[in-house]
């Protein structure tokens, strides 16, 4: 009964959420687009000419926002490149390359390398999150593992002066994740956009300039 009430409350909040309404109006697939928009407007992350990789890109709202920022005009292509990666399928987005698969596996990496043609990435975006169980220690370990993957991906594929924006959670294990960012990046900032729900502990970490590029 409690679960049914919780679902009903979530549905009510979701339907009445101003960012959900705005996403529907502006054609974004998820309200998450406005989290990236707010951080981008503050930190000036996305610029024409960049190569951007969106890890865990499905359903595609971050790739949509990035595409709009790199677009010269409606339907006229983009100045730069966007590559989305996810193990789940994603509906096509104009001018966005999508690789379905696990980016740790050889086949996905081969596809990525074919697209990059020896070039390095300017910006890595990661809105990836594990399925949370509610058990703090277990969830912290899962979040940390995903952050590790995003950092490792950045070390291998990103320009030394590039940036990684990754979703994290402010709770058990957050300090450890923050420490990892500080070990790997010269500048680190945390961002809690207004579009992130008040009840949510999600927070975004932004690391710029790799200390140990590979």
**What is the band of 24 on the pLDDT scale with cuts at 50, 70, 90?**
confident
**Coil/strand/helix, residue 107:** helix
Asked about 167 being catalytic, the answer comes back as yes
What separation in angstroms does the CA of 193 have from each of 36, 84, 122, 167, 197?
Answer: 8, 22, 22, 11, 9
Q: How many CB atoms lie within 10 A of CB 209?
A: 15
Q: Burial level of 126, CB count in 10 A (0-12/13-18/19+)?
A: buried
| pTM attached to this predicted model | 0.90
Active-site residue, from 25, 120, 167, 208: 167
User: Cα(154)–Cα(157) distance, rounded to whole angstroms?
Assistant: 5
Rg, C-alpha atoms of the chain: 17
Annotated binding site: 60, 62, 86, 102, 127
Query: How is the chain split into domains, by residue range?
Result: 29-210
Domain 29-210 is found in CATH 3.40.50.150: yes
Report the pLDDT value the prediction gives residue 161, as an integer from 0 to 100.
97
User: Cα(86)–Cα(125) distance, rounded to whole angstroms?
Assistant: 12
Annotated binding site for S-adenosyl-L-methionine: 60, 62, 86, 102, 127
**What is the band of 10 on the pLDDT scale with cuts at 50, 70, 90?**
very low
**What is the band of 72 on the pLDDT scale with cuts at 50, 70, 90?**
low
Residue of 155 and 24 predicted with greater confidence:
155
Is 50 exceeded by the pLDDT of residue 185? yes
**What is the band of 11 on the pLDDT scale with cuts at 50, 70, 90?**
low
Average pLDDT of the residues in 68-78? 76
């Amino acid at each position: 009964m409690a679960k049914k009430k919780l679902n009903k409350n979530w549905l009510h909040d979701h339907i009445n959420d101003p960012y959900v309404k705005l996403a529907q109006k502006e054609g974004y697939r998820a309200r998450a687009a406005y989290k990236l928009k707010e951080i981008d407007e503050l930190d000036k992350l996305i610029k024409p000419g960049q190569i951007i990789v969106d890890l865990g890109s499905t359903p595609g709202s971050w790739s949509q926002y990035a595409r709009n920022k790199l677009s010269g005009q409606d339907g006229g292509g983009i100045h730069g490149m966007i590559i989305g990666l996810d193990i789940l399928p994603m509906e096509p987005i104009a001018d966005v390359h999508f690789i379905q698969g696990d980016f740790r596996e050889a086949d996905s990496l081969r596809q990525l390398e074919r697209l990059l043609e020896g070039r390095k990435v300017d910006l890595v975006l990661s809105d990836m999150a594990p399925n949370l169980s509610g058990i703090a220690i277990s969830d912290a370990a899962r979040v940390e593992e995903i952050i590790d993957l995003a950092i490792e991906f950045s070390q291998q594929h990103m320009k030394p002066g590039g940036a990684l924006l990754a979703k994290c959670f402010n709770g058990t294990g957050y300090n450890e994740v923050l420490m990892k960012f500080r070990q790997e990046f010269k500048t680190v900032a945390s961002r809690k956009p207004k579009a992130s729900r008040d009840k949510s502990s999600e927070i975004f970490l932004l690391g710029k300039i790799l200390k140990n590029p590979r």
